[in-house]
Copies of this chain bind each other. A is one copy, B any other.
Amino acid sequence: MRAVNDVLLKKLAVHSVLDSEDQAALASLSFAVRTFARGADIIKQGSDPDVSVLVIEGMVARYQTLNSGRRQYISFHIAGDWPDAQTLFIDKMDHALCAMSDVAIGLVRHDALQQLFEAKPPIGFAVWRETLIDAAIFRQTIVNNSAQPTVPRLAHFLCEQFYRAKAVGLAAAMSCQIPLNQNQLGETLGISVVTANRAARALTARRLIRWQNGVLHIENWERLCRLGNFNPGYLHLKRRLRTG
């Protein structure tokens, strides 16, 4: 397993520039490492956590449960992501956090973070920036789930996951891990399982992807992006990635 502070530094470096003093301060943050099995809840909706979660390994997701019992997944997070920097200045969780695969996470106390941000504003700005990129991803999800038919919607979703994995070095040349089953996929895109299945088959039939056992292979990146109207600008990376 990679060292916690390492994961964090590397991730922030993708988006922000920190001097060596700031980096040292970051490295001195103390994290408690915990693991969760696939499917487990990490933070429950309605709770009031005093710690923040950093993903070290695996994939975690935010979701909400509706009165009908249906779940709606909101976003997915991989190593280096900080899914509840979102909750730093917020009292009560308006959603839950769960493990999509077996995961390792680092926990750091909110008050320790707040002290660090007061002492080193640039670090606070870097983390703030992370939360703003998160928000940009939410906005894009609103657009994708509200305004695209199912097949482009799935295409866009896959493009985003792959591109983000690539950006932090977690993707192979043309493949990455997306450990969702088709039921969860439906609850992500706001469609039924059957429609999720048919959308996935449609992309496979057109030879744009292969997707088995939680591993996505992209067969035609160019066309997949075009079909999904995917344009990575909203991810606000410092530079375009090479995608084969």
Contacts A70-B147, A146-B72; is A91 near B139 (CB within 8 Å)? no
**Does A44 lie at the interface of the complex (its beta carbon under 8 Å from any beta carbon of B)?**
no
Contacts of A131 in B (CB 8 A): 128, 131-132, 135
- Measured CB to CB, the closest approach of chain B to A70, in angstroms, equals 6
Task: Report if A129-B229 is in contact (Cβ < 8 Å); known contacts: A74-B142, A121-B118, A139-B138.
Answer: no
A91 vs B89: C-alpha distance in the bound complex, in angstroms? Answer: 24
Q: Is the CB of A66 within 8 A of B142?
A: no
Choice from B95, B125, B143 contacting A139 with Cβ under 8 Å = B95
- Docked Cα-Cα span, A229 to B72, in Å, equals 14
Per the bound structure, the CA–CA distance linking A90 and B189 in Å amounts to 27
Interface of A is mostly: helix
Chain B residue numbers with a CB within 8 Å of A145 are 142, 145-146, 190
Say yes or no: is A34 at the interface (Cβ < 8 Å to chain B).
no
Cβ proximity bits A83-103 to B, threshold 8 Å, 1 near / 0 not? 000111111101100000000
Candidates B70, B95, B125, B148; contact of A89 at CB < 8 Å: B125
Q: Is there an interface contact between B146 and A236, defined as CB atoms closer than 8 Å? A: no
CB of A136 within 8 A of chain B?
Answer: yes
**Contact A139/B94 with A145-B145, A146-B145, A190-B147 known, Cβ cut-off 8 Å:** yes
The interface bits of chain A over 172-197 (1 if a CB of B lies within 8 angstroms of the residue's CB, else 0) are 00000000000000000110000000
Q: Cβ of A170: which chain B residues have Cβ within 8 Å of it?
A: none
Known: A74-B142, A117-B121. 17 other contacts (CB 8 A): A66-B147, A72-B147, A74-B139, A74-B143, A89-B128, A89-B129, A91-B236, A92-B236, A94-B136, A94-B140, A94-B236, A118-B121, A124-B128, A138-B138, A138-B141, A146-B189, A147-B190
Q: Could you list 15 examples of A-B contacts with CB < 8 Å?
A: A66-B148, A66-B229, A74-B139, A75-B139, A89-B129, A90-B236, A91-B236, A117-B121, A124-B124, A124-B128, A131-B135, A134-B135, A138-B141, A138-B142, A145-B190
